[in-house]
Amino acid sequence: MLAELYGPLCAIRPQQDFAIAHLAQSLDGRIATAGGASQWISGEEDLRHTHRMRALADAVLVGADTIRHDDPVLTVRRCAGANPVRVIVDPDRKLRADHRVFTDRSAPTFVIVAEDCSETAPLGAVEILRLPRANGIIAPAAIRSALAARGLHWLFIEGGGVTISHFLRAKCLDRLQLTVSPVILGSGRPSLSLPEINAPGLGLRPTVRRVILGQDVLFECIFGERDEG
Ligand SMILES: NC(=O)c1ccc[n+]([C@@H]2O[C@H](COP(=O)([O-])OP(=O)(O)OC[C@H]3O[C@@H](n4cnc5c(N)ncnc54)[C@H](OP(=O)(O)O)[C@@H]3O)[C@@H](O)[C@H]2O)c1
C-alpha cells in the first residue's frame, strides 16, 4: 500500500512545481459540521496519511477558516519527517494573533495577504506575503509562483473546501485526494464548490486511483490530459 500510494508522489523531481490537495469528507460530501467541527471525519490511517503528506511537502497551505476553527499546528507528528513551511491565506488579516501557527515557532510560517489589506499590526513570528487581489480572491497561480520563488515547490493544500475549490477552479492542482469516510452528516460545510454546470457530462473526469485506508477510501484525482473541465 505504501509504495502504491507514495511511490508516484516521491517520484516528483526536486524543484518541480507540484500542488496536491486533500480533504476528508463524509459520504454526502461534507468536510465539517455547519459550526465548523471536523475532528475527526476520517480514521486513524487517513490522519497518519496527512502527516506523511506534510512530511513530503515543502509547504502546507490552508485557508483562514481552517485556522479559525481547528487552530492546527500543521506539523509532522504521526510519522517521521521534517515539518513543512506553513502557509495561511488570510487576505484581510482577520485571524487573531494567538493562533498556534503564529506563536509556536515550530516551522517557518507565511501569511498570504491581499495587497489592498490595510491591517498592518504585527502578527507573531511570521512573514507576510502581499499579493494582488482580483475578482475577490488572490489568484492561486500567483500564490504558487510566489511560493516557488521562495523555494517552496511541492505544496500540500490541506483545506478547507473553499481554498481547495479556488485552486481547482483555477486549474492550479496537479492532484486532489478525497478521502471518503462511511459517515453521513446530512448538513455542514461542503467539500468542493465549483460554478454550476447543467449536465453531469460537463463534470471534471480526471484519472482516478483508489486506495483503501482502513474504513475509508482515498480517491486520488490526477489532473492532466484527461481533465476536460
Ligand atoms: N475534513 C477536512 O479534510 C478538513 C480540512 C480542513 C478544514 N476542515 C474544516 O473546514 C472548515 C474550513 O473550511 P472552509 O472551506 O470553510 O474554509 P477555508 O478554505 O479553510 O478558508 C476559506 C477562507 O480562506 C481565505 N482564502 C482561501 N483561499 C483564498 C484565495 N485564493 N484568495 C483569497 N482568500 C482566500 C478566504 O478568507 P476570507 O473569508 O477572509 O476572504 C476564505 O474565505 C473548518 O470547519 C475546518 O474544520 C476540514
- CA–CA dist 148, 155 (Å, integer): 9
Q: Ligand 1 pocket check: which of 20, 66, 119 to mutate, most ligand atoms within 8 Å of Cβ?
A: 66
Best mutation site among 31, 213, 216 for ligand 1, i.e. most ligand atoms within 8 A of its Cβ? Answer: 31
pLDDT at 20 over 60: yes
* Ligand 1 neighbour 152 (Cβ under 6 A): no
Which residue's C-alpha cell is 501569511?
111
**One-letter-per-residue 3-state SS of the chain:** CHHHHHHHHHCCCCCCCEEEEEEEEECCCEEECCCCCCCCCCCHHHHHHHHHHHHHCCEEEEEHHHHHHHCCCCCCCCCCCCCCEEEEECCCCCCCCCCHHHHCCCCCEEEEEECCCCCCCCCCCCEEEEECEECCEECHHHHHHHHHCCCCCEEEEEECHHHHHHHHHCCCCCEEEEEEECCCCCCCEECCCCCCCCCHHHCCCCEEEEEEECCEEEEEEECCCCCCC
C-alpha distance from residue 161 to each of 2, 6, 36, 66, 116 (Å): 26, 23, 12, 9, 24
Dist. CA 3 → ligand 1 center (Å):
31
- 49 CB under 6 A from ligand 1? no
Indicate the pTM of the whole model. Answer: 0.97
Is 229 a residue whose pLDDT tops 70? Answer: no
Span 213-228, pLDDT tens digits = 999 999 999 997 433 3
How far, in Å, from the CA of 213 to the mean position of ligand 1? 25
- Using CA of residue 40, residue 100, residue 119, residue 88, what is the dihedral sign? negative
pLDDT at 163 exceeding the cut of 60: yes
Rounded CA-CA distance 46/164 in Å is 18
pLDDT digits (tens, 9 = 90+) for 113-151: 999 999 988 888 899 999 999 999 999 999 999 999 999
User: Is the Cα dihedral 107, 82, 151, 115 positive or negative?
Assistant: negative
Query: Can you read off the three cell numbers belonging to residue 89?
Result: 491565506
Provide the mean pLDDT of the chain: 95
In one-letter notation, the amino acid at residue 39 is Q
Contact 66, 162 (CB under 8 A): no
Least confident of 53-62, 96-105, 118-127, 149-158: 118-127
The label of the residue with cell 482577520 reads 94
